[in-house]
Every structure is written in C-alpha cells, then in structure tokens.
Homo-oligomer: A and B are copies of this chain.
Amino acid sequence: MTDFAATRAMFDVPPGVIYLDGNSLGPLPKAAAERVARTLTEEWGEMLITAWTRAGWMEMPRRIGDRIGRLIGAEPGSVVMGDTLSIKVYQALAAALELNPTRRVILSDTGNFPSDLYIADGLVQSLGRGYTLRTVAPEAVAEALDETVAVLLLTEADYRSGRLHDMAALTAKAHAVGALTVWDLAHTAGAIPVRLAQAGADFAVGCTYKYLNSGPGGPAFIYVAPRHAETARPALSGWLGHESPFAFEPEYRPGRGIERMRVGTPPIIQLAALDAALDIWDMTTIEAVRARSIELTELFIARVEAACPGLVLASPRDPAQRGSQVSFRHPEGAAVMQALIARGVIGDFRAPDILRFGFTPLFIGPEEVEAAARILGEVLAQGGWDRPAAKAPAAAT
C-alpha cells in the first residue's frame, strides 16, 4: 500500500493551489532543491573538475536511465539520459530508418505531438532520397501499416485527450509488416505502467519534467531495445557516445550498447534534480500510482459532468484507454482556464477548445479533485470565466 499522504509531503506545492498541470511541468520535490544545492556547493564548488569522476557525474546518464527504465518496463542498461525529447526523437528515428534500409516511409498520426512531426519532417528533408513522413488519423494507424513503412512513430498518450494507443498491438502489427517502432512516452512515463520490453518496442523516448518531476527543461531519455543496441548507428555521433571519449581518437567508434546514444556533456545540475525527484518512486510503484490515477480521473469526470453540463468530455470514457489526464471541450476554453487559474486551480488550455487536467497521485488526492470540480462548476455557473483574469500561462507540451 502506498501512503499517498507521505508522497504528497515530498513536494513543495504553494498553499491554496490545486495543481492539475503536473502533466506539463511537475512541481518541485523538496529533495530536488536540497540535492541541487549540494551538487553546486559540495560537488562543483569543492571538487571542481574532479567531480566528473569523484562525484559520479559521468555515470549519471546511464545510472538514472536505469532508474527510469524500471518505470517503463525496459531492460537494465537500455535507457540513457540526455538532450531534449525532440533531439531524442531525431536520434531514434534516424537510427531506426537505417535499420530498415530498403524502406522510405515514417508513419505517424495526426494526434501526435507536433514537435515529433516537425522533427520527422526535418529529418526526411535532410535525408532526401525519397524519405517521407505519412500521417493518418490515430484510429487509422493499424490499417495504414503496410510493407512500405520503415518506422512507426507514435506517442503513446495523446497530449490533448489522453487517449492511449495500444503499444503491444501496434508494435506487433508493425513487426508483422516489417516496420520498426519509435514510441514517445512523454505522457505515459510515470503515469501508467509502460511495458517496453514486453511489447517488443524497438525504440522509445520521453521527457522527465512532466510525471517524473525533474523541473523545467529536465533531460530526456532514449531507450533502444537490446537487440538493436549494438547495431544502431548514432546519427548524432558526439564524443560521449564514443567507445573511449577520453582517448580523443580521430575516428568515431560507437560506444557499447546504449552508451552510443549519449552525445555531449550531460546537464549535471538538471540530472541532480531528476535524481532526487526519482527517489519519491521508492515509496510506491507505477501500478499503485496507476490505480490511484484511475480513481481520481473517474471521480473528476463524474463530478464535473454533474456540475458542468456545458462541458463535453474529450478524453476516452474507458479509463483503460486513457492516460492520467482528463480533457473537456468548451468553446471559451482559454477564458475558462484563465478564470480557473485565478481561483487557484491550475490546468492548461490547448487550442482550439481543450481544457486539460493532469492527475498525478504523488501529490493530488480526492479532496483536491472534488474541490477542483466544484470550483470549475462555480466558474461556469457564475460566468466568471469571462471576467478579466490573470494572463494564461505558456506551458510545455
């Protein structure tokens, strides 16, 4: 049994705020502030350059990769940290395409996060030679998988609706037609039990500033299935992915396994924040978090539908098909969200009409869900959403 009051106590959330935007930027874990301060003064300040070995900095990307690997069903030694999610999408796609060299099509869906599509488009433009990005509606992906497809690029949970793709089924279908898969776990890592190895996924990528609470601009991760790890060529062949970075050899030799997906000097301060944030996962399991998340999202939907007849559910009603977020449509969604934020309920708005609420059981409980639904009902009933309100925040994905 997880003590969710205890996990809640690990975070600094301002009093009076109901924070339903941990799916965009998780809140500050108290330990992250302490850990970062120590990294600066006791490691950087005291050890200077020697901290790369003495404080274990150089090993952090793989050590922390393994910690995340345990949350996403990855084999030990198959995940490494670094860069941003967009860079990791590029890296995974470029490697996957070369592993399937007779084909030219990246297949994705129109519900994918735009940056994934932008990166894929940028890559196919660089590659030329007939490479193309093909997008279909999310529900048409399985049917569109045919023997022209080199790589299937999908985000497991839709960033607007929270709708989940069936990773196991789509990976099996992809493999059946000879395609490889790249899964973006931005909205599922730390939210639901991802099962990369079990699903047979080829590559996966994700970010850590959402459900993993690493802070603004926290490093991304990349997973390469062990069966590809020694053959995948890193297109972004930076020195820390070299077999022997400090030999300063003139020729690139890819490092062993997942190490080759490292690129440049890792962001130690952000990694320290992430490392501390992950300690909270020692107090629970992803299965327990998922069970609690379903309780919370079911409760929120029930309460909101009772209190706010004008809202239309934009997320799947079946919790098994939904990530850890709930979205509703409202024609004045942006203004409604501003009014809500002014009342201390922080969610976010996604154009054109989506009110998006994320539920992170590590720091959100049923009392906050009930209060948020009540306040949303009041805002809508009182028309308070069209009053001048605080400026809506920009948000990250």
List the one stretch of A30-38, A144-152, A188-196, A296-304 in contact with chain B: A30-38
Are the CB atoms of B122 and A235 closer together than 8 Å?
yes
Indicate whether A156 reaches chain B with its CB closer than 8 angstroms.
no
List the one stretch of A174-182, A241-249, A310-318, A325-333 in contact with chain B: A241-249
List the one stretch of A2-10, A42-50, A279-287 in contact with chain B: A42-50
Indicate whether A140 reaches chain B with its CB closer than 8 angstroms.
no
**Given known A-B contacts A46-B14, A83-B84, A118 and B252 have beta carbons under 8 A apart:** yes
Residues of B within 8 A of A346 (CB): 48-50
Total interface residues on A, CB under 8 Å, equals 97
> Which listed residue (B25, B51, B248) contacts A216, Cβ 8 A?
B51
Residues of B within 8 A of A51 (CB): 216
> Which listed residue (B85, B123, B207, B269) contacts A36, Cβ 8 A?
B269
Nearest residue (CB) in B for A214 is B269
Indicate whether A266 reaches chain B with its CB closer than 8 angstroms.
yes
List the one stretch of A53-61, A64-72, A223-231 in contact with chain B: A53-61
Complex interface residues of chain A between 120 and 153 (CB less than 8 A to chain B) = 121-123, 125-129, 135
Residues of B within 8 A of A44 (CB): 25, 27-28, 215-216
Nearest residue (CB) in B for A135 is B250
Indicate whether A220 reaches chain B with its CB closer than 8 angstroms.
yes
Are the CB atoms of B84 and A263 closer together than 8 Å?
yes
Indicate whether A96 reaches chain B with its CB closer than 8 angstroms.
no
Indicate whether A308 reaches chain B with its CB closer than 8 angstroms.
no
Indicate whether A256 reaches chain B with its CB closer than 8 angstroms.
no
> Which listed residue (B123, B238, B273) contacts A115, Cβ 8 A?
B238
A177 to B33, CA, bound (A): 54
**Given known A-B contacts A40-B33, A45-B14, A122-B234, A53 and B216 have beta carbons under 8 A apart:** no
Indicate whether A267 reaches chain B with its CB closer than 8 angstroms.
yes
**Given known A-B contacts A49-B25, A265-B209, A252 and B57 have beta carbons under 8 A apart:** no
Residues of B within 8 A of A32 (CB): 40
Residue interface mask A81-96, B partner, CB < 8 A = 1: 0111111001000100
List the one stretch of A16-24, A164-172, A367-375, A377-385 in contact with chain B: A16-24
Besides A86-B236, A86-B238, 18 more A-B contacts (Cβ < 8 Å) are A12-B41, A12-B45, A24-B49, A28-B41, A36-B36, A49-B346, A51-B216, A52-B396, A83-B84, A94-B126, A110-B250, A115-B239, A117-B252, A122-B236, A125-B235, A135-B250, A216-B269, A267-B267
Cβ contacts A to B, 19 pairs, < 8 Å: A17-B48, A19-B48, A27-B45, A51-B216, A53-B391, A83-B87, A84-B263, A84-B264, A85-B264, A86-B239, A86-B240, A118-B242, A135-B250, A215-B269, A220-B264, A239-B397, A265-B397, A269-B269, A270-B270
Q: Ordered nearest first, which 10 A-B pairs have the shortest CB separation?
A: A84-B264, A122-B237, A86-B238, A115-B239, A217-B267, A216-B268, A50-B393, A86-B264, A118-B252, A28-B45
